Structure 1
Amino acid sequence: MSADEKFERTIRLLSRHRYKKLPVVNGAGRVIGVISRGDLINNISKKIPSLV
């Protein structure tokens, strides 16, 4: 799975299930962080050129 696929899947999970945050786990299944809707919005906004 590519990074883009993981990013899109994360967006789908958050919106489909109305989650506000998701745990980030490593290969061993241990939680190593949390990603929130705000994290995704900030990431997307940095990639979209300003329309102003």
Structure 2
Amino acid sequence: MSKRSPKSVSEKLEIVLLHLEEGKSLSWLTRNQGISKDTLSHLFLQSSTFSRAQ
């Protein structure tokens, strides 16, 4: 059984914004948002690809 708890698009965006706008560290995000460093890396890659596409 998977331990994953999928995040909605709005939850993912909030996490990215916490880092970009409020300066929350990646270690803070992993602890307080309950996500792994790998997941964070993936979110930031997605957000940077999206912003370049616009």
TM-score range, shorter chain: 0.3 to 0.5
What TM-score comes out, normalization by structure 2 length? 0.44
- Structure that is richer in strand per residue: 1
More relative contact order in 1 or in 2 (CA 8 Å, sep 6+)? 2
- Between structure 1 and structure 2, the one with the greater Rg is 1
What TM-score comes out, normalization by structure 1 length? 0.45
- Structure that is richer in helix per residue: 2
